[in-house]
Amino acid sequence: MKQCSPAYLLLSIWPLASGLQACRTSVATVDLAAAPVPVKLRMTPATVPRAGVMQFRVTTPNADSIQIRSADGLDRYTGTGRELEVYLPSSFGDSTPLARYAVRTSGHLLNVLKKPVIVTVCRESTCREYYHELPVRLPERNRRRIALTGGWSTAFTTQAIKNPGRDRLQEGGEHSVWDLRAELATKATSVRLQGFSASHERLGVLDLAHVIQPSDQGPGYGLAVHLAASNGDWLPIMRRDLPTGATYQASIGPAVMLKGLSFSSQFGIYINGGQTLQEMSTVLSFNGGFTEVRYPFSIMLERRIALGNEPVVAQRRNALQRLTVGLDLVPGVALLLRMTNRQGAWPATLPGGQVLFDEVSYTVGAEYTLGW
């Protein structure tokens, strides 16, 4: 049975998500001057997004030239004719790079900074200046160091198990998944302890990351450790030597970190049904909860492959691909989306006795977080 990986599905839905985002783009129009010689300003989006740009367009009839400049005059754009369109970044008007953050006052979040913009329109050697303010969205600094998260979700699963020449079993259905997560972040170390409980499997995961070189002046690097243990009956018994019951994982490897984005490549062991396999893992994580700036979403992409010790081509293998996305709906409550593809192959001494397993799962749920 052919299945799509989580990464492939993410790339497939990205154009649709981008289109939906474009439909929600806000537009602001302002009349800097009224008739008989109107001067119109159009801003798309209405507020400069964090680390983004704004389309800033000035239109007026019979103009010889139009100029847009910052209050200090360091940033300026000039054009001839009746229209001038430029793209203004969030750093517009800053003589030096500045890190600004939103503040909270009396329970209100002040996250918009207004920067002065001066528009100059010239006609027949006569120029007039118009003053406007450029709204820039500010990020909220994240001071949270400890977080406890609990959630409930529903998983829709399809399984296909094949024993060539003998049996073929295909199942599908839905089941509930409960999860509990505890996270701790310091300047140099982060720890994440997770527990999952479903009708057919219980899983515990411990992830640790230690920063050796901080990322204050660019990409940093460190060390990542992954430990996991599970116990379940997700694989029907077709042979006595199939991996049913407890499994254990342990891996370690280097990691690269940059403002909440971390990438690690790990190597370790995978103990499954009494067999010890060598495991290679790749993990890409963007944790919105513990970056310097608070982001409303988090992403984690995992790819773990365990191979047996057969020469040349390993026939015994176990592969896992998982994409997890969290999107904050309101403070403390997030929508959880997860796509998982798990595959396995177990050889046999007799020809045609190999068992192949393929499982695809889509999970939708919600999480609630308490942070300090």
Domain layout of the chain by residue ranges: 18-140, 142-371
From first to last of its 372 residues, what are the pLDDT tens digits of the chain? 444 554 444 444 444 444 444 445 789 999 999 988 999 999 999 999 877 899 999 999 999 999 999 999 999 999 999 999 999 999 999 988 788 899 888 878 899 999 999 999 999 889 999 999 999 999 888 877 899 999 999 999 988 877 765 566 667 788 899 999 999 988 888 899 999 999 878 999 999 999 898 766 668 889 999 999 998 775 655 555 566 678 899 999 999 988 778 899 999 999 876 678 899 999 999 987 777 788 888 999 999 999 876 654 456 788 999 999 999 888 789 999 999 999 888 776 665 667 788 889 999 999 999 988
DSSP one-letter code for 314: -
DSSP one-letter code for 102: B
Q: What is the pLDDT of residue 17?
A: 43
Amino acid making up residue 248: Y
Point out which residues pair with 167 in neighbouring strands.
163
| 125 phi and psi angles, rounded to 5 deg | 70, 10
Q: What is the CATH number of domain 142-371?
A: 2.40.160.40
Q: What is the CATH number of domain 18-140?
A: 2.60.40
Q: What is the pLDDT of residue 24?
A: 57
> What residues have CB less than 8 Å from 142, skipping those under 6 apart?
289, 290, 291, 292, 293, 294
The first and second tokens of residue 40, run together, are 């119109």
Closest Cα partner for 318 from 352, 278, 284, 351? 278
Q: What is the pLDDT of residue 356?
A: 82
Closest Cα partner for 239 from 162, 318, 341? 162
How crowded is residue 135: how many other Cβ atoms within 10 Å of its Cβ? 15
Point out which residues pair with 359 in neighbouring strands.
159, 342
pTM, to two decimals: 0.74
d(CA 165, CA 177): 35
Helix (H) or strand (E) holding 10: helix 6-23
